[in-house]
Amino acid sequence: MACRPGCGACCIAPSISSLDKPAGVPCRHLDGELRCRLFGQPERPGCCSGLQPSAEMCGESRDEALHWLADLEAMTRP
């Protein structure tokens, strides 16, 4: 499954501890079109490259993806 253009939900909703990024805050590596500037680069965090788009996670819209990922973040919060 390919990423939805202009989404960026997986770079906004979850926290990314290796980047000190809190949940709900856009990653500093997102560009203006909500694409990762580190995609395919060795410095991209492992948690990011391990997260792959799926029908369940991405849903039918960006809003559905943001909601699903926010729920996952809340369920896995220490």
pTM for the full model?
A: 0.88
CB 49 within 8 A of CB 40: no
Give the per-residue pLDDT at 1: 86
pLDDT in single tens digits along all 78 residues of the chain: 889 999 999 999 999 999 999 999 999 999 999 999 999 999 999 999 898 999 999 999 999 999 999 999 999 887
Strand partners, 30: 36
For 35-58, b/e burial (b = at least 16 CB within 10 A) is ebebeeeeeebeebeeeeeeeebb
Q: Distance between CA 63 and CA 55 in Å, rounded? A: 13
- Give, for 71, the enclosing helix (H) or strand (E): helix 62-75
- Domain borders along the chain are 9-75
